[in-house]
Structure 1
Amino acid sequence: MAYEYRPFQVEKWISRFYYKIGIVNPEDIDERTITKHLGIHLTYKEKRSFSAEDGQFKLINIDSRLSGQEQREHFYHELCHVLRHYGSQLLMPKAFIELQEFDAKRFTRYAAIPFDMLKLFDLKSPYIVQNMAYRFNISEKICKERLDGIHRNKKPKKDISMIEYL
């Protein structure tokens, strides 16, 4: 039986957005380009990574003391908070904070390794995790989690003739 992976809506949105702003290869991914097109101010300072909003003003700060891979992962995490979440975690119940953090971790995997760019890789290669980590400039841990998620969510490919009878 053949299997296929159907991307989630957020994955499709990320791929369309990247394509629209000229990001078509892993090496094209650039945090400043992304934030510029989204109207978000991006800073790198020696303080913890965070995001903040005040009306129309949106800010992401990335801890400049982190490695390049860690900075990129923190960027996607904070980007998720700006794009998908509302409210201050300082005022939220613990369960809501946990939900936002779960969503931000998932978003990080999707934004760091866009679905449509997976076709650029030999997914059967024994070095796939290392190759992806190098080209996307993210940790092997994130790459492995992304690939595990794809394998976990594969669905049997639908046979056209079977659809006619359903």
Structure 2
Amino acid sequence: MTYTKTHLEDFVEALYRNMNIDNPEDIDMELIAHRLGIVIDYVDAPSKSVYAAGFVVILVNKQLPPPLQWQDFAHELAHVLRHAGNQNLLPSGLRMMQEWQADHFAAYFCVPGFMLEKIQFPPSLEETILIVSEKFNVMPWFAAARFNQWFNRFFF
């Protein structure tokens, strides 16, 4: 079977390669933010991205466990990299579309397909999900959804 990458996968891969990040072990939220010129601040509030004094700041909810912080960071990074303007001024339908796009980006960014290709997976789906969850520091439900999405592109 031939796997054809999506435009989003190409974008994510190029972004990672431009930051010299090629393996799951190299993924570090603070390093990524630094290399992209983004400030991270940990707050007692829901995660969001803001523009302040000429800086891009991603506010991450410090009450969340690290995998959810990482997933939130990726979601907010999508807004920074792929959306413009104040989302609160958008009609609800466009806001919902941007949220869907940010969730979609987060899946591809947190668990990049070009890195999944390098992993030797066991025959058990449960073990595979645990490996993906641990290697990419994401919640098991997130790992399962992304792995299934990636795997199904080989056959559908």
Structure 2 length-normalised TM: 0.89
Q: What is the match of residue 35 of structure 1?
A: 33
Q: What is the match of residue 6 of structure 1?
A: 4
Note the aligned Cα RMSD (angstroms).
1.8
Report the AA paired with residue 90 of structure 1.
N
Q: What is the match of residue 163 of structure 1?
A: none
Higher Rg of the two aligned structures: 1
Structure 1 length-normalised TM: 0.84
Report the AA paired with residue 52 of structure 1.
V
Structure 1 unaligned residues grouped into runs of 5+: 157-166
Q: Secondary structure at the match of 1:154?
A: coil
Q: Secondary structure at the match of 2:88?
A: helix
| 1:17-166 to 2 correspondences below 5 Å | 17-53=15-51, 56-123=54-121, 125-126=123-124, 127-154=127-154
Q: Deviations over 1:98-140 (max 9, x none)?
A: 1001101110110011111112323453111110101111011
Q: Secondary structure at the match of 2:2?
A: strand
Structure 2 unaligned residues grouped into runs of 5+: none
Identical aligned residues as a percent? 29
Aligned residues: 154
Q: Deviations over 1:145-166 (max 9, x none)?
A: 112222343368xxxxxxxxxx
1:54 CA displacement: 5.1
1:13 CA displacement: 2.0
C-alpha contact (below 8 Å) 1:46/1:64 kept by paired residues: yes
More contact order relative to length (CA 8 Å, sep ≥ 6): 1
C-alpha contact (below 8 Å) 1:53/1:82 kept by paired residues: no
